[in-house]
């Protein structure tokens, strides 16, 4: 009894000691305070623009450097890449997203017969390392850079069967705020968390809801950025989606809004892929499971000793996320959220250090390790999703509205025909209005017709029952 009490006391003391030093993003802190660690300009792509204001010289960084480097990379390899900038806006707020498409053969007729991958980086402004990873992946795809221990011939055979769309910086406006000095900002340019603005379980708030961190917006898809990404997902119809973040090391699958994973074969396939990545690239240190069931506190006991290394995350429900939408609504067979880096020794106010490597060795290690992980995905995906699975998934009914379908159709046609589609889009907006009126009229007419038949049948029954 006494030994058990001492052991339990030691257990509690270890927990409290760890919690005192535990400083992940979910800890209670005022994230509006300035960061202690500035952006390392030697590691992260940005450009300093100087101007004079009231007699003093000021400087602020511009994010255009990274995007311009990516566009230059694409233009150097027109046989492999295409690039487009998609713009949207509402209520005076404008947003744009750059999308890079990689396809070795570049034959449009072959695109639908290949496995399609959609990758998004930089959804939260403060997570700069994710966009650096996007640049590294694109550089390797271009063959201007290479991974060590990579068999180029075998990876090229795998890439022949893939079409990859990369969004290197989903939250451009939020990133600009970060580079202007608000290093803790994760939301977009008008204060909405883009990973809470999707429709699956949108707007639900947990007890620990932080309005600064998790503002879901005025409605699902209220933000131009999420509107663009939704249209892109519907038009491209990917087999695999990865939303890349930082803050910890984890490989998450659905669901984020509840403490469960999907049932059946798709869930098994996703878990097998994540376990392989964890073993080969994370060296089994990454958390695996559903986002909603793997973020929180769980205490593991190793060899009768409690250490801070024994703590990992268990429960943190997030509502209105992109990955849940991709899996539940867009019916993407494999939908993931990757967390590629986190410094749990950093203060909650030291946002840049918490979410991004600050030294060259760590930076290089993160970018190289996770690039290798993505190329492992490129090689394994055709084996994880065979032809029969692909056909079955293609035949699944997608729970999308007529508006979503037409939006996806228009984006696909715009990608092919360019500005000529702008006039057609205006016409399609009118067609949508007329289509809704047609559906409403049809329902009303059907209701009136059924009511009339019902009354007629009732009248005939009464007449036949009368004695002659």
Catalytic site positions: 339
What DSSP string describes 82-138? EEEEEEEEETTEEEEEEEEEE-SS--GGGGGGSEEEEEE--SSTT-HHHHHHHHHHH
Q: What are the contacts of 148-154 at 24+ separation with CB within 8 A?
A: 148/368, 150/372, 150/375, 154/379
Q: How far apart (Å, rounded) are the C-alpha atoms in residues 160 and 220?
A: 37
What are the distances in angstroms from CA 167 to CA 140, 206, 228, 243, 294? 16, 30, 11, 10, 26
Q: How far apart (Å, rounded) are the C-alpha atoms in residues 15 and 26?
A: 17
Please check whether residue 351 is in contact with residue 85, taking contact to mean a CB–CB distance below 8 angstroms: no
Length of the chain: 468
Q: How far apart (Å, rounded) are the C-alpha atoms in residues 290 and 455?
A: 54
Please check whether residue 210 is in contact with residue 191, taking contact to mean a CB–CB distance below 8 angstroms: no
Residue of 219, 170, 174 whose CA lies nearest to 197: 219
Pairing label, strands 81-90, 93-102: antiparallel
Residues 6+ apart with CB under 8 A from 307: 14, 18
b/e burial code for range 443-465 (CB count within 10 A of at least 16 → b): eeeeeeeeeeeeeeeeeeeeeee
Q: What counts of helices (H) and strands (E) characterise the chain?
A: 15, 12
């Amino acid at each position: 009894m006494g030994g058990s009490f001492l052991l339990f006391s030691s257990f509690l003391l270890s927990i409290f000691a760890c919690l005192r030093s535990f400083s992940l993003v979910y800890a209670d802190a005022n994230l509006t305070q300035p960061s202690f660690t500035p952006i390392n300009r030697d590691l992260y792509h940005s450009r300093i623009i100087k101007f004079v204001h009231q007699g003093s010289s000021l400087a602020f960084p511009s994010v255009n450097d990274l995007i311009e480097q990516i566009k230059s990379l694409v233009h150097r390899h027109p046989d492999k890449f295409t690039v487009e900038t998609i713009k949207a806006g509402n209520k005076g707020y404008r947003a744009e997203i750059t999308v890079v498409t990689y396809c070795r053969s570049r034959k449009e007729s072959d695109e639908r017969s290949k496995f399609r991958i959609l990758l998004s980086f930089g959804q939260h402004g403060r997570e700069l390392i994710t966009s650096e990873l996007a640049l590294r992946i694109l550089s390797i795809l271009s063959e201007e850079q290479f991974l060590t221990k990579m068999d180029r011939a075998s990876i090229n055979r795998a890439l022949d069967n893939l079409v990859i769309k990369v969004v290197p910086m989903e939250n451009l406006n939020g990133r600009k705020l970060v580079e202007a000095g608000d290093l803790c900002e994760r939301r977009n340019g008008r204060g909405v968390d883009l990973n809470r603005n999707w429709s699956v379980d949108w707007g639900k708030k947990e007890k620990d809801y932080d309005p600064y961190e998790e503002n879901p917006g005025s409605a699902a898809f209220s933000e131009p950025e999420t509107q663009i990404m939704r249209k892109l997902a519907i038009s491209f119809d990917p087999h695999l989606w990865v939303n890349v973040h930082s803050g910890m090391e984890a490989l998450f699958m659905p669901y984020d809004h509840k403490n469960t994973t999907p049932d059946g074969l798709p869930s098994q396939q996703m878990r097998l892929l994540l376990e392989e990545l964890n073993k080969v690239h994370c060296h089994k240190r990454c958390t695996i499971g559903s986002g909603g069931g793997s973020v929180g506190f769980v205490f593991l006991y190793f060899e009768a000793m409690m250490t801070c290394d024994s703590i990992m995350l268990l429960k943190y429900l997030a509502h209105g996320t992109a990955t849940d939408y991709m899996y539940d609504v867009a019916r993407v067979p494999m939908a993931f959220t990757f967390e590629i880096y986190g410094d749990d020794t950093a203060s909650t106010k030291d946002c840049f250090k918490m979410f991004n490597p600050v030294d060259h060795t760590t930076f290089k290690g993160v970018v190289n390790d996770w690039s290798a992980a993505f190329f492992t995905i490129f090689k394994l995906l055709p084996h994880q999703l065979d032809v029969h699975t692909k056909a079955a998934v293609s035949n699944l009914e997608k729970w999308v509205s007529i508006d979503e379908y037409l939006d996806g159709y228009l984006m696909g046609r715009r990608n092919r025909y360019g500005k000529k589609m702008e006039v057609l889009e205006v016409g399609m907006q009118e067609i949508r209005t007329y289509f809704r009126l047609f559906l409403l009229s049809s329902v009303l007419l059907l209701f009136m017709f059924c009511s009339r038949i019902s009354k007629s049948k009732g009248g005939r029954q009464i007449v036949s029952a009368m004695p002659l």
